[in-house]
Each structure stands twice: as C-alpha cells, then as structure tokens.
C-alpha cells in the first residue's frame, strides 16, 4: 500500500466496452479501478516471489499487442478536448 500523497496517475485510452467492464467490475467489488490496478501490479513482476498471474500473462500480452497495433494514438486535438479535471476513479466526472 502507498502512503497518502505518493500516488501517481496512470492514463489509458480504451474502447467504451473495456472502460465499462473495468468500472462495472470495480463497482461490483466495491473498490476503485485504481485500487484494482495497484493490487495487480506486484503480480506482474516476475522477480516478486509468490502468487503471479502466471500462465495467463502470455495471452494477456498477445492481446495487448493486438490492441496496440490496431489503435491509433490520440491526436493533439483529442488531447486538447480532454478534461484536465478527472473524477476520483478516472471516469471523467469533474470534481467540485
């Protein structure tokens, strides 16, 4: 677990369906998407002893490569339209 004030943002562009799947799963579990990603991170490190994602990681990487190859990077115009203020779970709801 991280100390308050030491967290960094991670941003991702994904399909509407994938976005909804992340948020729906998090809501069903009663946690944030950020917490799920942080909890998964140690399981991605092969140098960490203990419980790993293991055999699934190969399939995950193959699918990730396909997604990267099919995706186009966001344009400058897209980035300018993006809201600088994101909700607590990164779902685009403005704070305040």
List pLDDT tens digits, range 12-31: 999 999 999 999 999 999 99
Spans of all domains in the chain: 16-73
Two tokens at 62?
Answer: 């193959």
User: How confident is the model at residue 80, as a pLDDT?
Assistant: 55
- Residue 33: phi, psi to the nearest 5? -60, -40
* Interval 1-12: pLDDT, tens: 667 678 899 989
Q: Which residue has the higher pLDDT, 19 or 84?
A: 19
The chain-wide mean pLDDT, for the chain, equals 76
pLDDT number for residue 94: 40
Which pLDDT band holds residue 32 (cuts at 50, 70, 90)?
very high
Q: What is the DSSP string of 18-65?
A: HHHHHHHHHHHHTS-HHHHHHHHHHHH-TTS-S---TTHHHHHHHHHH
């Amino acid at each position: 677990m991280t100390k308050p004030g030491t967290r960094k943002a991670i941003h991702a562009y994904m399909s509407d369906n994938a976005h909804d799947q992340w948020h729906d799963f998090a809501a069903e579990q009663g946690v944030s998407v950020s917490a799920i990603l942080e909890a998964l991170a140690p399981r991605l490190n092969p140098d960490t002893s203990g419980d790993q994602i293991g055999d699934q990681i190969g399939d995950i990487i193959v699918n990730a490569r396909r997604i990267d190859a099919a995706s186009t990077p966001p344009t400058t115009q897209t980035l300018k339209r993006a809201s600088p203020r994101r909700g607590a779970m990164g779902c685009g709801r403005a704070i305040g």
